[in-house]
Amino acid sequence: MSDRALARAMLVLALAGAAIAGYLTWVHYAGIEPFCAGGGGACERVQTSRYAELGGVPVALLGLVGYLAIAGALTLAPASAARPAVAFLALAGTGFSAYLTYLELFEIDAICQWCVASAIVMGLLAVLAVTRLLRVDV
Amino acid sequence: MSTKSERRAAARAIREQQERAERRSAERRRRLLQLGGAVALAAVVVVVAAVVLSGGGGSEGRASSGGAPSAAQSREVGALFAGIPQRGTVLGDPRAPATLTEFADLQCPFCAEYARDVLPTVVRDYVRPGRLKLDLQLMSFIGPDSVRAARMAAAAGMQNRMWPFAELFYRDQGQENSGYVTDGFLRGIGSAVPGLDVQRALRQRSSPAATRAVQAAARAADHAGVESTPTFFVTRGGGPPRALELQTLTPGEFTAKLDAALR
């Protein structure tokens, strides 16, 4: 896969992640119940839990900012600067997603499908970002 | 036999190849350093975020906003109770076949933990379908801040707004008995309760009716032998109250015990 194809794939993933995080941010501020496939209200339980905000800022909004920052770096910054920046953002996002998944499993006792989807997208972004960073085409 | 110029070309090719290999090697080292930096920085960010998140969500050492719940918190609480009948201390359909009575203290961190982690599930799965109504009996055994909080909650109950008031109070708990439950704090919490006339509540908290409500909760707790908060009892129809014995305050354990008590 060429460097350009890697960047394109990451951009698609970042936009997909931004869509998920954007939906959860909207749900948070609108005070409505998120759509949860299969019902059960697990998404609502996670979204209204005490872990849904970090320093008063909705975690979903932080995710949205992170995805948009990745998309911005991929499209606006030169490749030499974008590679490490995107790797940092994606690794931080993946680590934080892993922690949030731990909280869902062991503290909140509910799994939000949207959060899992976002964690998978962020994980894939991290894999591609590290792959791209370590490729040397000199 | 190669000519002199051919030998020079061959030597140049070898030199260029070596230079390319050195450039690749240097670039690879640079990229590895960048990756190391990115991993280290990401780890720091994640650890800080996790500490803030767990500290912010924990039951102790949280920073109170000083009675100024965020608009998002106000909306969340409004959505939690939207459309559910409230009357005095009771939340839910008055004809519900069973009652879950909770003895709590608004300063009690475990009560706040229950309110944040378990109550949304109870409201969604038991109160909204009309299976259960909730009765909140507020005690004030922790100290003077509890008394001020319980009186204001009782006044909010006179406007049938005790439940959202308590819920928002829990989300903004300060250090126990630090004197944080001031008029300003109560006004801030009350202002975030949808539909509450805060001035009227502030006036009525010292009324005989509010005093009677606080005393009635204390008597009920004595009568039930409550020794800690939160303590829960389930009453079905005219039957005797059954205590819920809980080890942890998680939705899974709570609903399992609740189901057993309702059977």
Q: How does pLDDT run across A72-120, given as a tens digit for each residue?
A: 999 998 888 999 999 999 999 999 999 999 988 877 667 889 999 999 9
Measured between beta carbons, the chain A residues lying within 8 angstroms of B56 are 50, 53-55
Residue B53 shares a structural domain with residue B103 = no
**A96 in B contact zone (CB under 8 Å):** yes
Cβ–Cβ below 8 Å for A92 and B41: yes
**Which architecture does CATH list for A3-134?**
Up-down Bundle (1.20)
What CA–CA distance (Å, rounded) separates B98 from B94? 10
What DSSP character marks residue B173? -
**A134 in B contact zone (CB under 8 Å):** yes
Mutate to test the interface with A, among B23, B30, B34 (most CBs of A within 10 A): B34
- Which of B34, B57, B80 terminates a domain? The answer is B57
Q: For tokens 């309110």, name the residue.
A: B115
pLDDT band at B64 (very low <50, low <70, confident <90, very high): low
Q: What is the DSSP string of B20-53?
A: HHHHHHHHHHHHHHHHHHHHHHHHHHHHHHHHHH
The predicted-structure confidence for B8-46, as pLDDT tens digits, reads as follows 899 999 999 999 889 888 888 999 999 999 999 999 999
Which residue of chain B is at minimal alpha-carbon distance from A102?
B50
Residue B76 shares a structural domain with residue B50 = no
**A44 in B contact zone (CB under 8 Å):** yes
Residue B237 shares a structural domain with residue B119 = yes
Q: Residue B231 belongs to what domain range?
A: 71-262
Cβ–Cβ below 8 Å for B78 and A31: yes
Closest CA to B37 of A37, A76, A83: A83
pLDDT at position B2: 67
Residue B240 shares a structural domain with residue B156 = yes
Closest CA to B225 of B107, B103, B90, B112: B103
What CA–CA distance (Å, rounded) separates A33 from A36? 9
Q: Is residue B233 part of a domain?
A: yes
Q: Is residue B6 part of a domain?
A: yes
Q: Is residue B239 part of a domain?
A: yes
Residue B12 shares a structural domain with residue B83 = no
Q: Is residue B250 part of a domain?
A: yes
Residue B11 shares a structural domain with residue B78 = no
Residue type, B7: R
Q: Answer for the pair B242, B261: CB distance below 8 angstroms, yes or no.
A: yes
The total number of structural domains in chain B stands at: 2
More confident residue, B174 or B153: B153
**A127 in B contact zone (CB under 8 Å):** no
Q: Is residue B64 part of a domain?
A: no
Hey, is B84 helix, strand or coil? coil
- Dihedral angle at the C-alpha atoms of B235, B239, B245, B250, nearest 10 degrees? -30
Structure tokens at A26: 């909207």
Which residue of chain B is at minimal alpha-carbon distance from A131?
B35
- Cβ neighbors of B17 (< 8 A, separation 6 or more) are none
Residue B29 shares a structural domain with residue B96 = no
What CA–CA distance (Å, rounded) separates B146 from B176? 9
Q: Which among B46, B76, B80 has CB closest to A95?
A: B46
Q: Is residue B125 part of a domain?
A: yes
Q: Answer for the pair A131, A88: CB distance below 8 angstroms, yes or no.
A: no
State the count of interchain CB pairs (< 8 A) between A and B.
100
Peptide bond into B94 cis (omega under 30): no
What CA–CA distance (Å, rounded) separates B229 from B104? 5
Q: What are phi and psi of B174, to 5 degrees?
A: -105, -165
Residue B141 shares a structural domain with residue B239 = yes
**A132 in B contact zone (CB under 8 Å):** no
pLDDT at position B1: 55
End-to-end CA distance of chain B: 102
Q: Is the pTM of this model over 0.90?
A: no
What CA–CA distance (Å, rounded) separates A91 from B243? 48
Cβ–Cβ below 8 Å for A136 and B31: yes
Residue B215 shares a structural domain with residue B96 = yes
